[in-house]
Amino acid sequence: MSRLYLPAMAVASCLGMGKDATMGPLLAGSRRGLRHVDGFPVPLGALPEEIPPLPAALGRWECRNNRLLAVLAAEVADEIAQAIRRFGAHRIAVVIGTSTSGIAEGEAAFARHARTGEWPEGFDYRQQETGSGALFLADLLGLSGPAYVVATACSSGAKALASARRLIRAGLADAAIVGGADTLCRLTVTGFGALEALSPGPCNPFSANRAGITIGEGGGLFLLSPDPAKIELAGLGETSDAHHVSAPDPEGAGALAAMGAALADAGLSPAGIGYVNLHGTGTALNDSMEAKAVAALFPQGVPCSSTKAMTGHTLGAAGAVEAAFLWLMLSLRWNPDGRLPPHLWDGVADPLLPRLDLAGEGHRLSRPAALSNSFAFGGSNCCLAFRRGMP
């Protein structure tokens, strides 16, 4: 099968907007972005900057989620323009993962209507459509290839990469703009609150004292291309537990199978992996099953960390945001010393979990390949394998 590469990447989270702003805080283990936001009872990973509104000509797509996608696209505008010249606008797909889309705008509109009996000027119910992100980006970039959204909860951003790869390998596209974006809204915060899954403070993954997730917002966007580049999408693995609507298989069978499939797809062994970005939500069941799966696949240990302790859980964007972090870790330009993002927690190990080699100060990437885990409600699992490509 043809090899595919990731020549361009854009990222935004509460750590910063763009690669330059992200890299320092990520390697330093910064929690500066986790803060209290007006109207919410727990700290959240809110973006550190205002996002400019869309141009008037694209007003029908106006929502915070699409504005974030526009910011991400601007960061890799040159590479996208080159791809359009290389492949043609009709041969580039757009695949985006999300779970919130324009829900925040719908919440505000319904609140206004309940209060005044009138809808806000310019409100359109289509702002809330899950699929709007991909159609918006296609419109923004002038692309006419396949364009759609993947919405598999917390694995959406990772599964978007899997879907884009299938489109290219099936001959339906030559390249793809692919990733994910999710922005804060009350539905997700109150929903996870109703599940009693929110941590009262910053999340504490794999600790005996873990108390739930911290929700964040952010996005990651890639150009996926057959042209050799410095970072390769080497492999991926997808599985479905179908164990429970919200709880994972407690033994981590689906997670283990997804990681194993990603390694096999990439032609790698566990010994060839230098780092694993853990799904690591800080919930009791997720951390338990993931620890079992990682320990089973890497009995000799592998450096790993959950970056959600810095960014919060960006939900439908998490797979893309954390894949972006993997891209940065492997990049000799952005990370010449091979430093790893530290695992932030209180250091109180859960005696019921296998011990993992959680990255701290001094951990370095010892192999030119890494994994990123994304596990979702309903047992929708995805593991991505990245490695350094051309020198």
Question: What is the total count of domains within the chain?
Answer: 1
Q: What is the pLDDT of residue 121?
A: 85
Four-residue CA torsion sign, 213, 214, 216, 222: negative
Q: How many other CB atoms are found less than 10 A from the CB of residue 190?
A: 13
Distance CA 298, CA 303 (A): 10
Neighbours of 240 (CB within 10 A): 14
28: number of Cβ within 10 Å: 15
Q: Could you list the active site residues? A: 154, 279, 313
Residue 180 contacts residue 14 (beta carbons within 8 Å): no
pTM score of the predicted model: 0.96
Contact in structure between 62 and 127 (CB atoms under 8 Å) = yes
- By C-alpha distance, which of 154, 177, 153, 148 is closest to 318? 154
Token output for 385: 């394998």
* The pLDDT of residue 126: 78
- β-strand 92-97 against 175-182: which pairing, if any? parallel
Which are the contacts of 37, defined by CB distance < 8 A and separation ≥ 6? 44, 46, 184
Cβ density class 257-277: b for 16+ within 10 Å, e for less = bbbbbbbebbebebebbbbbb
Give me the DSSP letters along 93-133. Answer: EEEEE-S-TTHHHHHHHHHHHHHHS-PPTT--GGGG-TTHH
CATH number (domain holding residue 156): 3.40.47.10
pLDDT of amino acid 1: 62
Q: Which range marks the domain in which residue 107 is found? A: 4-388
- CA 166, 331, 28: angle at the middle one, nearest 5? 120
Digit-by-digit pLDDT tens for the chain (391 residues) are: 689 999 999 999 999 999 999 999 999 999 999 999 888 889 999 999 999 999 989 988 999 999 999 999 999 999 999 999 999 999 999 999 999 988 898 898 999 999 999 998 888 877 888 899 999 999 999 999 999 999 999 999 999 999 999 999 999 999 999 999 999 999 989 988 888 889 999 999 999 999 999 999 999 999 999 999 999 999 999 999 887 776 788 889 999 999 999 999 999 999 999 999 999 999 999 999 999 999 999 999 999 999 999 999 999 999 999 999 999 999 999 999 999 999 999 999 999 999 999 999 889 999 999 999 999 977 789 999 999 986 5
Give the burial class of 187: count Cβ atoms within 10 A of its Cβ; 0-12 exposed, 13-18 middle, 19 or more buried.
middle
Cα distance between residue 124 and residue 58, in whole Å: 13
Distance CA 222, CA 7 (A): 8
What is the per-residue pLDDT for 331?
A: 97
